Amino acid sequence: MSEIQNRAIQLFHLEADDVPVTTHEFREQMLQASLMLYHALGGTEVAAQDLLRKAAEHPKEDVARSVGEVMVSLAGVSYLHDMDMMQAAYNTLRLRFRQLAPSACAAE
């Protein structure tokens, strides 16, 4: 795993009070983050509902392929907004670690 992936998993465990993180929790977190990004980009609720319906009509794909598709999409959004997507991830992780108890900041 990459450094950023390791740090994100560490953060998930710290935020969950050492309770194992489940597929269900990751699935919800991914959808919430995706919808927040969609909204930040100007997406509407009506269009999001339509996209959700269309996505549910497609057969499930391999998780690895889907992760790749998300990463490619994030790269495109980052390019359009003139930002480094990895730096954005590091900045978010740093902020979230600082929002936790002072003992968690040592993990930075």
Q: Are 100 and 18 in contact (CB under 8 A)?
A: no
Q: What is the mean pLDDT of residues 64-83?
A: 96
> Structural domain boundaries of the chain?
3-105
Q: Are 12 and 21 in contact (CB under 8 A)?
A: yes
pLDDT classification of 25: cutoffs 50, 70, 90: confident
Residue 17 has a pLDDT of 65
pLDDT classification of 29: cutoffs 50, 70, 90: confident
Whether the per-residue pLDDT at 53 is higher than 80: the answer is yes
